[in-house]
Amino acid sequence: MKIEKKLQNIVVSAIHALYGQNVAEDAVQLSKTKKDFKGHLTLVVFPFVKISRKNPEQTAQEIGEYLCDNTIEVCDFNVIKGFLNITIAPSSWLELLDEVNANPDYGFSSETPESPLVMIEYSSPNTNKPLHLGHIRNNLLGFSLSRILKANGNKVVKTNIVNDRGIHICKSMLAWKKWGEGVTPESSGKKGDHLVGDFYVLFDKHYKEQIKKLIGEGQTEESAKKNAPLILEAQDMLRKWEAGDEEVVSLWKTMNSWVYAGFAETYKVLGVDFDKIYYESETYLTGRDVVLDGLEKGTFFRKEDGSVWADLTSDGLDQKLLLRGDGTSVYMTQDIGTAKLRFDDYSINKMVYVVGNEQNYHFQVLSLLLDSLGFEFGKGLVHFSYGMVELPEGKMKSREGTVVDADDLVEEMVNTARETSKELGKLDNCTEQEAEEISRTVGLGALKYFILKVDPRKNMTFNPKESIDFNGNTGPFIQYTYARIRSVLRKAEELGIQIPETISGDLNLAEKEESLIQNLAEFAAIVKQAGDEYNPGLIANYVYELVKEYNQFYHDFSILKEENGDLRNFRLLLSKNVASTVKKSFWMLGIDVPERM
């Protein structure tokens, strides 16, 4: 914040003038004054006690007096023990509001030719089932992170890796071949990902029946799982796929295309997208070649059974399998191959993987392997590790009884938003089309905000009913406040009131008005912190505090009915910039804001 920077410089001058000592600017610690005390910014004076050779209270008193006497920015101060609470003059707050208003992109940094290129991987679905609640948190975090990093001036590439090969894919294919009777998404009226997911469940049902039968015939459970005819057929199908069998590959392409079409619909509804999608079926062979090249160079070693390993014991880890004895790859090999292709496609400076915290060890190993193979982003790769998300038991049914389907959840959110909005009269005087658009905006806003406001590292429980509340720390509460401000601004326009670009006049601002400007000015620091810490929750909770403060202001002060024209215009300009900051904050979270509600 500009005022903080100025004060830091003035405090440095004060220390030199009062005590004849030079101090570094970063030794001047300023923070927002706690609400229990009078003031805007608080200076910690303990670091200067040795220099002043006086107690903390005396030191703070002397610095406070110097600031009041030597700068127009400070109009008052008070001392609480070793803390100097500084009150900023109203004229400085008006200047700050003018500065925020003059830059529509205030808080955002512009991309330059020298900006680092950050690639962010998120979603990473399997093509044997539809997206679920866990994917929702993953997609929302990844997409929000891409926008936060863009707002911090980075070049950003959004990418997805689709797990489209392996035994799990063959299970769905085999079940469709045996019991599908030629059904397609068109003939069934089902989304393709749901249809394929149904066959995955059907395979599992018949597989378990076969296991039970074999156990009844005297086999152990482990033996029955290996010898069940269905799993043997699925393994045979996988071998045929890897050998390029035309019939199997054709079926694989057909069923995967159904799933991709289904995924695309879900991504569109969620409002997330990708610049480049990679497929494991196209990366695993590259990974194998990179590993074999590493073996030839002595980076890896081969065991007696022909398997290829990396020795990470010098890094405090263990040995890691990269290729099986039969030459087939493991997940790590595929990730190496994907990294190689990405590095060939883009000059990546930093790679961010948005993957759950159960994969922490995997990415620790991947970072070391990529570095040992010479990938520049290897050592500095970021595993954006997030916790699990669940629903309260019994709140919502899922297709399989164990997984919460993403499409079902979104539909439920929109329906709940519609019902809640109707009950509260938010859809009065709306056309049917407007009501539907508002319901979708609010429902998705509630879902996204509720998930993104939580520290991503923590596990969380998503409560659909709680999230669609027009009071409290929720998306709808913030969206409604935005719509309310837009309504005020429209009325001002209808009344012929032109909001000035700068505020003139000697205004006596209320504490709440000064606090709102201070909150607006903090936006830039919050955007930077969210980018540095990879934490969308910081943006979410910042915008909630801003909106909460604005609603108290809106309740306590007149805007359009204010008789003092300068004060009315100031409050309109303040409201306009609160709305702009809400919109920019929600843009970073991937949430839309309604102009009317």
**Residue 144 located in a structural domain:** no
Across the range 11-23, mean pLDDT stands at 92
Region 244-250: mean pLDDT is 96
Residue 561: give its domain's CATH number.
Answer: 1.10.730.10
Query: What's residue 472's pLDDT?
Result: 86
468: tokens are 């669609």
Of 398 and 358, the structure prediction assigns the larger pLDDT to 358
Q: How far is CA 477 from CA 455, 466, 473, 505, 542, in A?
A: 20, 12, 7, 34, 14
Tell me: pLDDT of 35 over 80. Answer: yes
Number of CB atoms found within 10 A of residue 239's CB: 12
Is residue 16 a part of any domain in this protein?
yes
What whole-number distance in Å separates Cα of residue 76 and Cα of residue 278?
Answer: 60
The enclosing domain of 62 has a CATH number of 3.30.1360.70
Rounded Cα distance, 578 and 556, in Å: 16
Q: What is the pLDDT of residues 542-568, one digit of tens each?
A: 999 999 999 999 999 999 999 999 999
Are the C-beta atoms of residues 524 and 539 closer than 8 Å to each other? no
Measure the CA–CA gap between 592 and 414, rounded to whole angstroms: 14
Evaluate whether residue 164 is within a structural domain.
no
The confidence band for 505, taking pLDDT boundaries of 50, 70 and 90, is low
In angstroms, what CA-CA distances link 386 with 272, 333, 466, 540?
18, 23, 22, 16
* Average of per-residue pLDDT across 214-225: 94
Predicted pLDDT at 25: 87
Which ranges constitute the DSSP H helices of 111-166?
Answer: 133-151
pLDDT of residue 251: 97
Mean pLDDT confidence for 284-288: 91
Pick from 3-17, 145-159, 324-338, 386-400: least confident: 386-400
Residue 289 falls inside a structural domain: no
**Using CA atoms, how far apart are residues 440 and 417, in angstroms rounded to an integer?**
7
Decide: 527 and 539 in contact? Cβ < 8 Å: yes
Report pLDDT for 326: 83
pLDDT of residue 73: 87
Q: What percent of the chain has pLDDT over 70?
A: 98
At 402, is the pLDDT very low, low, confident or very high (cuts 50, 70, 90)? low
Q: Give the domain extent around 547.
A: 407-588
Strands 117-121, 155-162: pairing is parallel
Closest by CA to 439, choosing from 463, 465, 468, is 468
C-alpha to C-alpha distance for 208 and 204, rounded to whole angstroms? 6
The predicted model gives 166-178 an average pLDDT of 94
Cα pseudo-dihedral 19, 22, 25, 31, rounded to 10: -20
What is the enclosing helix (H) or strand (E) of 80?
strand 74-80
487 within domain boundaries: yes
The pairing of strands 389-390 and 460-461 is parallel
pLDDT 10s digits, 67-115 = 999 988 898 999 998 899 999 888 889 999 999 999 999 999 999 999 9
> Would you say residue 394 has pLDDT above 50?
no
CB-based contact 238:170 (threshold 8 Å): yes
User: Which of 454, 458, 465 lies closest to 409, judged by CA?
Assistant: 465
Supply the pLDDT for residue 439.
Answer: 92
pLDDT band at 1 (very low <50, low <70, confident <90, very high): low
Average pLDDT over residues 430-434: 86
Percent of the chain exceeding pLDDT 90 equals 76
Convert 397-420 to b/e letters by CB count within 10 Å (16 or more is b): eebbeebbbbbbbbebbbebbbeb
pLDDT in tens, 120-157: 999 999 999 899 988 999 999 999 999 999 999 999 99
pLDDT of residue 395: 40
pLDDT at 250 (0 to 100): 97
Domain end residue (candidates: 61, 88, 115)? 88
Query: How far is Cα 220 from Cα 228, in angstroms, rounded to an integer?
Result: 12
Q: According to the model, what pLDDT value does residue 397 have?
A: 41
Question: At which of 88, 122, 150 does a domain end?
Answer: 88
Which residues does 7 contact at the CB level (< 8 Å), separation at least 6? Answer: 28, 30, 41, 43, 67, 73, 74, 86
Residue 530, domain member (yes or no): yes
Q: State the average pLDDT over residues 435-455.
A: 94
Residue 155, pLDDT score = 98
Q: Whole-prediction pTM value?
A: 0.90
Would 482 be classed as within a structural domain? Answer: yes
Mean pLDDT of 318-338: 90
Q: Which of 72, 88, 104 lies at the terminal end of a domain, its last residue? A: 88
pLDDT at 60 over 70: yes
User: What's the mean pLDDT when you consider all of the chain?
Assistant: 92
Overall number of domains in the chain: 2
Over residues 193-205, the pLDDT tens digits come to: 999 999 999 999 9
The reply to whether 73 falls in a domain is yes
Sheet holding 155-162, edge to edge: 276-279, 155-162, 117-121, 350-356, 382-386
Highest mean pLDDT among 72-76, 180-184, 379-383: 180-184
d(CA 297, CA 275): 34
